[in-house]
Structure 1
Amino acid sequence: MKKKVIAPVVLSSALLFGAVPMSSVFANSDSTVSSVQAQKVWNEKANVPVFVKEKHAAKFSASTSSNALNYLKQNEKKTGLKNADKNLKVKEVLKDELGMTHVRFNQSVNGVPVEGSEVVVHFNGENEVQSVNGRVNQTLVDESVNTSPSVTAEEALEIAKKSVNAPDELTYEPTSELVVLPFEGENHTAYKTNVNFMGDAPGNWYVFVDANNGKVIDKYNAIMHADEIKTQKGVGLGVHGAHRELHISKVKQPNSGTQFALADYSHENLEGIFTFDSKNDGTTSNDTLYTGNSASFKSDYDRAAVDAHYNSEKVYDYYLNEHGRNSLDDEGMAIVSYVHYGQNYNNAFWNGAWMTYGDGDGEFMTSLSAGLDVAAHEMTHGVISKTANLVYRGQPGALNESIADIFGALVDDSDWEIGEDIMAPAAKEDGLTRLRSMSDPNSVKVTNEQRAAYATDERKVYPDHMDEFYNMPNSVDNGGVHINSSITNHAAYLIGKEIGREALGKIFYRALTVYLTPTSNFSDARVAVVQSATDLYGEDSAETAAVNAGFDAVGIY
């Protein structure tokens, strides 16, 4: 008798939904959702969209942050932003390949940044303000907030670590930043802490600790040299037997002589591409750079590492060649992957610093590093964190997941499916042939557990239209970040079929790096993508028309 495959459902910035106990993930019914939502207090002024598009803007002498601020001060009625010089703080000034300059501001109170509230002023090549977009908290214009903390940053970090059961061994030094946090109808002065760890339940936790009383206000899990090194060519076999040419390095080890490492230093201005072995032992202290005794990596155990190393370079090449981006941060940061993570681990994730791949259980999934789209998805989470930094909750989180899927399908351009190369034979026999489909989201077969959790009545698990949007509590899939991502995925597919993958990639990359802000929702994304198409191809172009039609088709207006 054929063995039925049970898929795990996830709660992390990972490819699927997360390896956590079923009882802690699944919603029982729509009543669960409504009861959680009913407890929340919503203040619509706490997250107000800003969008101004000028036809005949005043020309400035230069595209500077001070002139951007002058524009905002002179146009309070258009933007709704009061006292811009007092309430905005310059975050970044970026000049792009079109000659445009983009000045990004963070809303602030007494110099303390407001979490998620950013405004971007866009100058054209003639030093004219072309548009303004973003989201701001207008309650802070009229309400006073005491930004002097009573709790220290060190105390906040200890509280944060305890709240997420962080182990003693952390991936990297935890961070803490004082922010103003709009949450459930109130503005809090809080420490935004980031605690990152591996282990059986890996975490990239953002914990907000009240700076006055030390209570946890909110938290969410955003799971996303040897001497004489000389890079040379090596070879290996991938998970599915494909022959791979690799960039590797010869290293001298103190006790084992010369070995060959999956360490690639061949790319100019890049720190390197490295693949590590997690050894399936559940700890990070034993992880090492992946090495072999020859330049040929062809054993069964090698295959996951071979694909991870090979695919990392493919994704790096895509971003460099298509978008002129030098690594995930555009500054040449090292690209790092860990393979053989956990035991029978059916997931892959970006933890804020590197990619991690499980081996799969052999029934639902094979090694997750086998998927080029998986690698591109996880690495794109890194790009997102260094650009728009979309909050991993609700619609911004679904956009985060969707953009990762879109670039996964652009890098692995064989189809519009996600995860088709990591499904195990038993899963395929049960009709579970991929994780998500951009071309036909409704067609993806899921397990009974997933359907029970997400699809009441006859609703689809993966919607392709806003009529099927899931209003989920934050406790389930971070508010539907994986489920609802299929709506914007489908819009991207429809656009791509009309204008081609290259134009689609250029438009969405521009939207991500220039227009989107941390709390952008689906409607903001439409505005950002349409404006990006207009910038690149013109307002009356076929590309801009296709973008509008694609979003219309999925009900995002």
Structure 2
Amino acid sequence: MNKKLITTLVMSSLVASAFAVSAGAAPADKATLKDENGKVHNVVGSLGKVSGATAEARAMAALDLVGKDFGFAKAQGNFKVKESHNDENGVAHTKMNQVINGINVLDHQMIVHEANGDVQGVTGDFAALTPNATKASITSVQASDKAVASTGFTGQLSRPAVAELTYVAQGNKAVLAYKVEVAFLDAAEPGRYQVLVNAVDGSIISSVNLIENASNAVGSGTGVLGDTKTINTTLNGSTYYLEDHTKAMTGDIETYDMKNGTSTGYYYTSTTNKWTATNQRAGVDAHYYAGQVYDYYKGLGRNSYDNNGSSIYSYTHYSSKYNNAFWDGAEMVYGDGDGVTFIALSGAFDVVGHELTHAVTETTCNLTYSGQSGALNESWSDAQASVMDSGDWMIGEDVYTPGTSGDALRYMDNPAKGGQPANMSGYVNTTSDNGGVHTNSGIPNKAFYNFATAIGSRTIAGKVWYTASRDYMTSSTNFSGARAATLSAVAALYGSTSSYYTALKTAWSNVGVN
């Protein structure tokens, strides 16, 4: 996470006013919401009645009601159902991918919000695109090889690179491409690259490392700070392991020691179940805090990061003096820090909460890690971390710059202290850091702070933010869309006439997102 403020470009304030309908509230007039560029991201209100035996069938019919607003003639042939679920009020949220020739268009999704055939709103991003090709000229294996080669990594991958056909929007063209994930730990800097390979000529369209490799990570661990924690372990024979099987999940929570290597994790073991050795402290913290994060999301109705009860794996003592912690798409990885910028990163609850929330975001709305959606990805992790670790409004303070007391990596209440803008008037337009994701996240961070303090509850604010990401956000959601999503969430949970709804509108308006 980056504290540096790069070149500043003042952007015009957002012009769309957000609007939402709560379950049980009187139907509101139809409203079309647009971002600062005039692009529609939500159509809400009483949109009409649709029929169908399933939520998926009703969602397809609902899209036809808003086709003119988003710019398509009919839903059939343009969309494919991804998944559907009902929220606590019985509203079905059905996610649909835009498709061309049956192939997904990257980062173009719609969400239909419907209850018993009454369409309450549609969220999403559609683009009228002309495909450059209907079939690939290179194989998936060739695309994977090109993707791996583009990263410069020549060692053993963490998992096989798998290529998936997709269309990529470039202007008004849809370029047929393979999306390939290339993940590796056994390197000076770990990688989890999303590489887009042109399926016609094999050229690299883009390559983004989803792991932030600069000295800007945060970490947590009370064991690291010398405090005592109660942890759940497993006894096998006469040996105890850092494995927690007490959670109501299909998998478990397991923590490993990489012993300052980059490719192999080793069991933490004890014959006494007393984990007091210096080299065990990072493991104690990672293990304990992973359990705390699981419990937090279980309280929100989510079973592990993916809501499927999957295991949470944590790997500590990664590399040597490594100033970062990250979610690599399958597991948590923590460095020890260099002792100057950071100490062991698993030593901070808010860091563990932040990083594991990236896993939650990836399996809810999967916010694209660049530009405004990337800044929201970072901000959503900060927001939930600040709910879990609620003693202050700082992020990473327990492990950041041990030689300087009282400072932090970021400040939710005063983003400027961490070199971030707190208002759209200070929005930073840059190509660095995937479009300033660690910089511009200060704006939605301040909106969250404004909301939580106005209503006097971080817990409620965190529930609203989670519901928004689960039900009302897509991978391309921007700041304006996030305002609309959180307002829809607070309306669904507490009503559009509640004081919470009014407070949330003010919270966003006060950071220049209207």
- Report if TM-score (shorter chain) is over 0.5: yes
TM-score normalised per structure 1: 0.82
C-alpha distance after superposition, 1:222-271 (max 9, x if no partner): 118xxxxxxxxxxx97111111111111234xxxxx32110111122330
Q: Which residue number in structure 2 is paired with residue 521 of structure 1? A: 478
SS class of match (1:247): coil
Q: Which residue number in structure 1 is paired with residue 425 of structure 2? A: 467
> Which among 414, 430, 433 is matched to residue 440 of structure 1?
414
- 1:366 positional shift: 1.2
Any conservation in 2 of the 1:401–1:482 contact (CA below 8 Å)?
yes
> Which among 211, 214, 220 is matched to residue 223 of structure 1?
211
Any conservation in 2 of the 1:48–1:137 contact (CA below 8 Å)?
no
Does 2:107 correspond to 1:127? no
Q: Which residue number in structure 2 is paired with residue 158 of structure 1? A: 145
Structure 1 pair 144–466 and aligned structure 2 pair: CA distance change class (3 A): same
Show the 5 A alignment for 1:382-421: 382-421=359-398
- 1:347 positional shift: 1.2
> Which among 49, 60, 68 is matched to residue 58 of structure 1?
49
Structure 1 pair 296–177 and aligned structure 2 pair: CA distance change class (3 A): same
Q: 1 CA distance for matches of 2:438 and 2:5?
A: 14
Does 2:98 correspond to 1:98? no
> Which among 277, 290, 295 is matched to residue 299 of structure 1?
277
Q: 2 CA distance for matches of 1:551 and 1:30?
A: 21
> Which runs of 5 or more structure 1 residues have no equivalent in the other structure?
1-15, 19-24, 32-43, 225-235, 253-257, 445-460
Any conservation in 2 of the 1:47–1:136 contact (CA below 8 Å)?
no
Q: Which residue number in structure 1 is paired with residue 498 of structure 2? A: 541
Q: Which residue number in structure 2 is paired with residue 37 of structure 1? A: none
Q: 2 CA distance for matches of 1:223 and 1:158?
A: 21
Q: 2 CA distance for matches of 1:370 and 1:538?
A: 39
Q: 2 CA distance for matches of 1:49 and 1:30?
A: 26
Q: Which residue number in structure 1 is paired with residue 25 of structure 2? A: none
- 1:47 positional shift: 11
Q: Which amino acid aligns with 1:515?
A: Y
Q: Which residue number in structure 1 is paired with residue 158 of structure 2? A: 171
> Which runs of 5 or more structure 2 residues have no equivalent in the other structure?
10-34, 213-220
Any conservation in 2 of the 1:47–1:135 contact (CA below 8 Å)?
no
Any conservation in 2 of the 1:358–1:367 contact (CA below 8 Å)?
yes
Structure having greater relative contact order (Cα 8 Å, sep ≥ 6): 2
Any conservation in 2 of the 1:346–1:365 contact (CA below 8 Å)?
yes
Q: Which amino acid aligns with 1:223?
A: I
SS class of match (1:54): strand
Q: 2 CA distance for matches of 1:72 and 1:26?
A: 41
Any conservation in 1 of the 2:58–2:117 contact (CA below 8 Å)?
no
Q: Which residue number in structure 1 is paired with residue 400 of structure 2? A: 423
- Runs of 4+ deviating beyond 6 Å: none
Show the 5 A alignment for 1:169-318: 169-183=156-170, 186-198=173-185, 199-223=187-211, 238-252=223-237, 258-281=238-261, 283-285=262-264, 287-318=265-296
SS class of match (1:425): coil
Structure 1 pair 299–89 and aligned structure 2 pair: CA distance change class (3 A): same
Q: Which amino acid aligns with 1:309?
A: H
SS class of match (2:224): coil
Q: Which amino acid aligns with 1:523?
A: S
Q: Which residue number in structure 2 is paired with residue 149 of structure 1? A: 136
Q: 2 CA distance for matches of 1:88 and 1:237?
A: 48
Q: 2 CA distance for matches of 1:440 and 1:369?
A: 25
SS class of match (1:244): coil
Q: How many residues are paired up?
A: 478
Q: 1 CA distance for matches of 2:272 and 2:158?
A: 30
> Which among 483, 489, 498 is matched to residue 454 of structure 2?
498
- 1:63 positional shift: 5.5
Q: 1 CA distance for matches of 2:396 and 2:156?
A: 32
TM-score normalised per structure 2: 0.89
Any conservation in 2 of the 1:364–1:427 contact (CA below 8 Å)?
no
C-alpha distance after superposition, 1:33-59 (max 9, x if no partner): xxxxxxxxxxx9x99533211226225
Q: Which amino acid aligns with 1:220?
A: V
Q: 1 CA distance for matches of 2:263 and 2:485?
A: 40
Q: Which residue number in structure 1 is paired with residue 216 of structure 2? A: none
Any conservation in 1 of the 2:40–2:70 contact (CA below 8 Å)?
no
Q: Which residue number in structure 1 is paired with residue 215 of structure 2? A: none
C-alpha distance after superposition, 1:320-376 (max 9, x if no partner): 01x110000000110011111111111111111111111111122111111000000
Any conservation in 2 of the 1:308–1:337 contact (CA below 8 Å)?
yes
Any conservation in 1 of the 2:8–2:429 contact (CA below 8 Å)?
no
Q: 1 CA distance for matches of 2:38 and 2:75?
A: 16
Q: Which residue number in structure 2 is paired with residue 228 of structure 1? A: none
Q: Which amino acid aligns with 2:464?
A: I
Structure 1 pair 504–237 and aligned structure 2 pair: CA distance change class (3 A): closer
Q: 1 CA distance for matches of 2:437 and 2:69?
A: 33
- 1:289 positional shift: 2.2
Structure 1 pair 291–185 and aligned structure 2 pair: CA distance change class (3 A): farther
Q: 1 CA distance for matches of 2:46 and 2:399?
A: 49
Structure 1 pair 178–47 and aligned structure 2 pair: CA distance change class (3 A): farther
